[in-house]
Amino acid sequence: MNEDEIEEMTEIALEFYDQIKEGEVPKLDIPTRTKNNIEFDEGSKVWKYGSKKSTRSAKSIRGAYRLLKLLYTIHFFKSQLEEDRSSTLRELYYISENWENAKFREQQESDKLIEDLEIITDLKREDFHIRPEEDGATIVGPLKLKEKTRRGKREIHCQKDVGEGGYQIPNNPDRIEFLDHDADFVIAIETGGMRDRLVENGFDENFNAIIVHLKGQPARSTRRITKRLHNELNLPVAVFTDGDPWSYRIFSSVSYGSIKSAHLSEYMAIPEAEFIGVCPSDIVEYDLPTDELSEQDIKALESELSDPRFDTDFWRDEINLQLDLGKKSEQQSLAKYGLDYVTETYLPEKLSEKNII
Amino acid sequence: MNEDEIEEMTEIALEFYDQIKEGEVPKLDIPTRTKNNIEFDEGSKVWKYGSKKSTRSAKSIRGAYRLLKLLYTIHFFKSQLEEDRSSTLRELYYISENWENAKFREQQESDKLIEDLEIITDLKREDFHIRPEEDGATIVGPLKLKEKTRRGKREIHCQKDVGEGGYQIPNNPDRIEFLDHDADFVIAIETGGMRDRLVENGFDENFNAIIVHLKGQPARSTRRITKRLHNELNLPVAVFTDGDPWSYRIFSSVSYGSIKSAHLSEYMAIPEAEFIGVCPSDIVEYDLPTDELSEQDIKALESELSDPRFDTDFWRDEINLQLDLGKKSEQQSLAKYGLDYVTETYLPEKLSEKNII
């Protein structure tokens, strides 16, 4: 059980062993995780780390402690995998209380070490059985799946076997197998209010749509299951958010991945995902109720103008228009035209513009 | 359908009509919603509004606008109920875009008006089919329920028919009927990390416990379903949180209700709920890893010392001890003793202290 993962990790310890045996100071090379070392991979259409490397070496005391902590962590993960247990990022930090010199000073340190380990081993923290605190969101739609839980397998239809709250995405969605579906596309929605609106209006039934609630900046598990729905079921993904710079970042994290987790882009990013609004141009075209942009909003928009991920005609035009308007709008502002407008008019228009329906 | 609710609301409009016919200026009396007008009701053991009243009268322009907005809202709710639709607090704010003089200037205004309407009619916003943005949390445990959804009834067992994420509590848990259970108590847990720990360790199976995830300050739907589990199934409720002043407020909102929604105390508050930690005295007894209290923590603790809801020997002693220690601890700090300590040692000790097991 979990033998491959254990071998990958033990490899690192063996390498240190060999280095020491050869009379070398143990060290590790890791890709540098900064904006400057991020490159667009034309093949997979996602952002990945470039060739710049940082070295963690036991030459300095600080470096030696880092490698010690890495070894303790590998040791803990090894027994965790052998016993088929799991733990949270926070628990790992507390578990280190008894590791003496290898004790983490703060959780940031253990979180970062796990990212290192993901990059070195080419595994994901889910493979080490490490969970976040954040919880995933929910799914509703014409999809039947099988989830492998610790208590056995569960077959769940995401319309017929769930309440109005929907199917709760587990921490590790790779334990899910898609059994059957009747969907034409996936729609990923930022706010709970709008997700509830689509469910109430039967949007998933009328349009054969799988509704994924992003719940603000989406958790890793939410991004992962959306990616799998896209790849394995060949479904287009539409992202529907508020019309402000923070929401564009939500779209970008679904679509392009983030700098911090560029090593996971292929696992989570969906470069083909389509943004269907609310766009700044919708504010004009649909005459939506607005709020003034705040100073932070303006700064965030300006920073997006210099972000390579937003370096397209569409985004430049939309962001510049928004800066001119000085306004932002929320998804729910469509309620100005009544409770059915979003599902009967706005979404059908936007989805057919993108050739999704 | 929904006839009683419609009648309750229409009553208000009829009253205005009668007042105008009598040559009076229309007005409404509403209990004052401040700390000074909150009283402990010995009978129900919850905090309720006292006898102080505020008057909303059309004598002033501001008051006239308020009553106009109230009438527009009642009109909207009436058609919403007749069509068996529902909407979010945010949508209501946007719907008012077309109400001309009755348009809400900000959502706070419409939220407050709905609270007024709850108090006047003795109904709950769920009865008007108004949903919040916040979503409820999840349940896992030996409980079989039936949820009445718009798409028909769903029978769900909260262990056998759900994935590891659990059963997602719907916005209006009064649409749930409890069918069958095998539970001895309910344990309500603040953090997702600890909720996952209990599920992984099979705590719900080993102790016949219904695990409710509070997810920080609990949503109204989470408090309501916990209250119903307590009342209808006669189950004791244990609340398990971090050991800091913000977490004591979480306990207090489960147990005593809040000032803002004192009119709903009987609907949501569980005066018999037991706080099982993390207590400041646990920090000493279990030698837990700690963080320093921040200035805000200290202020919050001091404010709790003057809060009537914390005016008991237990809370005075614990809060004073915490101020002396200058420390706080999280639930997950119990991981210092390994991943099973919380379910095999800590919780059994605390639950038997409170005679729950």
Taking only the tens of pLDDT, chain B with its 357 residues reads 688 999 999 999 999 999 999 999 999 998 888 777 888 888 777 778 888 998 999 999 999 999 999 999 999 999 999 998 999 999 999 999 999 999 999 999 999 999 999 989 989 999 999 988 777 799 999 999 999 998 999 999 999 999 999 999 998 999 999 999 999 999 999 999 999 999 999 999 999 999 999 998 899 999 999 999 999 999 999 999 999 999 999 999 999 887 777 788 889 999 999 999 999 999 999 999 999 999 999 999 999 999 888 999 999 999 999 999 999 999 999 999 999 999 999 999 999 999 999
pLDDT of amino acid B1: 64
Residue A46 three-state SS? strand
What are the Cα distances from residue A219, in Å, to A193, A226, B111?
Answer: 18, 11, 29
Residues of A in contact with B88 (CB under 8 A): 193, 196-197, 332
pLDDT of amino acid A106: 92
pLDDT tens profile A126-180: 999 998 877 779 999 999 999 999 899 999 999 999 999 999 999 899 999 999 9
Percent share of chain A, pLDDT over 90: 81
* Gap between the Cα atoms of A149 and B200, Å rounded: 10
Q: Do residues B256 and B269 make contact, with C-beta atoms less than 8 angstroms apart?
A: yes
Q: Mean per-residue pLDDT for A57-75?
A: 94
What are the Cα distances from residue A68, in Å, to A7, A24, A26, A63, A94?
Answer: 19, 16, 11, 9, 17
Structure tokens at B320: 């004073």
Cα angle A308, A41, A272 (rounded to 5 degrees) comes to: 75
Q: How many CA atoms lie within 13 A of A78 on its CB side?
A: 14
- Residues of A within the annotated binding site for Mg(2+)? 190, 242
Determine which of A143, A179, A196 to mutate to test the interface with B (most B C-beta atoms within 10 Å): A196
Question: Closest chain B residue to A84 measured between Cα atoms?
Answer: B200
Contact A88 B332 (CB under 8 A): yes
Q: Do residues A53 and A28 make contact, with C-beta atoms less than 8 angstroms apart?
A: no
Q: Is B42 annotated as a binding residue?
A: no
pLDDT of amino acid A247: 97
Contact A154 B171 (CB under 8 A): no
In this structure, what are the phi and psi dihedrals at residue A218, rounded to the nearest 5 degrees?
-70, 145
Distance from CA of B285 to the nearest CA of A (A): 17
Report the catalytic residues of B: 94
The more confident residue out of A62 and A45 is A62
Helix axis angle, A313-325 relative to A295-305, nearest 10°?
Answer: 160
From the list B85, B165, B202, the residue facing A170 with the nearest CB is B165
Q: What domains does chain A contain, in order, with CATH numbers? A: 2-131 (1.10.10.10), 138-354 (3.40.1360.10)
Distance from CA of A172 to the nearest CA of B (A): 9
- Residues of A within the annotated binding site? 190, 242
Residue A208 three-state SS? coil
Residues of A in contact with B204 (CB under 8 A): none
Distance from CA of B97 to the nearest CA of A (A): 6
Question: Closest chain A residue to B171 measured between Cα atoms?
Answer: A165
Q: Please classify residue B73 by burial: count the beta carbons closer than 10 Å to its beta carbon, then call 0-12 exposed, 13-18 middle and 19+ buried.
A: buried
pLDDT of amino acid A1: 64
Tally of CB atoms within 10 A around A39? 14
pLDDT tens profile A205-262: 999 999 999 998 899 999 999 999 999 999 999 999 999 999 999 999 999 887 777 7
Residues of B in contact with A205 (CB under 8 A): 151
Helix axis angle, A313-325 relative to A245-255, nearest 10°?
Answer: 170
Residue A231's H or E segment, with its range, is helix A220-233
Could you tell me which of A94, A91, A87 has the C-alpha nearest to residue A125? A87
pLDDT tens profile B230-277: 999 999 999 999 999 999 999 999 998 877 777 888 899 999 999 999
Residue A180's H or E segment, with its range, is strand A176-181
Question: Helix/strand/coil (H, E, C) string of chain B?
Answer: CCHHHHHHHHHHHHHHHHHHHCCCCCEEEEECCCHHHEEEECCCCEEEECCCEEEEECCCHHHHHHHHHHHHHHHHHHHHHHCCCCEEHHHHHHHHHHCHHHCCCCHHHHHHHHHHHHHHHCCCCCCCCEECCCCCCEEECCEEEEEEECCEEEEEECCCCCCCCCEECCCCHHHEEEEEECCCEEEEECCHHHHHHHHHCCHHHHCCEEEEECCCCCCHHHHHHHHHHHHHHCCCEEEECCECHHHHHHHHHHHCCCCCCHHHHHHHCCCCCEECCCCHHHHHHCCCCCEECCHHHHHHHHHHHCCHHHCCHHHHHHHHHHHHHCEEECHHHHHHHCCCHHHHHHHHHHHHHCCCC
pTM: 0.90
Structure tokens at B263: 């009119």
Beta-carbon contacts of residue A152 (< 8 Å; ≥ 6 apart)? none
Residues of B in contact with A197 (CB under 8 A): 87-88, 91
Query: What band does A270 get if pLDDT is binned at 50, 70 and 90?
Result: very high
Residues of A in contact with B192 (CB under 8 A): 133-135
pLDDT tens profile A11-37: 999 999 999 999 999 999 988 887 778
Q: Which residues pair with B144 in a beta bridge?
A: B157, B180
Q: Mean per-residue pLDDT for A275-303?
A: 96
Q: Is B317 annotated as a binding residue?
A: no
Contact B196 A171 (CB under 8 A): yes
Contact B163 A170 (CB under 8 A): yes
ipTM above 0.95, yes or no: no
Amino acid letter for position A182 = D
pLDDT tens profile A191-214: 999 999 999 999 999 999 999 999
Note if the bond before A278 is cis, omega within 30 degrees: yes
Determine which of A77, A79, A91, A147 to mutate to test the interface with B (most B C-beta atoms within 10 Å): A91
Contact B88 A200 (CB under 8 A): no
What is the separation, in whole angstroms, between the first and last Cα of chain A? 44
Contact B161 A154 (CB under 8 A): yes
From the list B161, B193, B205, the residue facing A88 with the nearest CB is B193
* Gap between the Cα atoms of A180 and B95, Å rounded: 39
Distance from CA of A34 to the nearest CA of B (A): 29
Distance from CA of A280 to the nearest CA of B (A): 18
* Gap between the Cα atoms of A69 and A72, Å rounded: 5
* Gap between the Cα atoms of A132 and A219, Å rounded: 9
What are the Cα distances from residue A170, in Å, to A180, A238, A279, B166, B219?
Answer: 19, 22, 31, 8, 21
Q: Could you tell me how many CB contacts below 8 A there are between chain A and chain B?
A: 159
Q: Do residues A328 and A243 make contact, with C-beta atoms less than 8 angstroms apart?
A: yes
Residue A247's H or E segment, with its range, is helix A245-255
From the list B97, B168, B215, the residue facing A336 with the nearest CB is B97
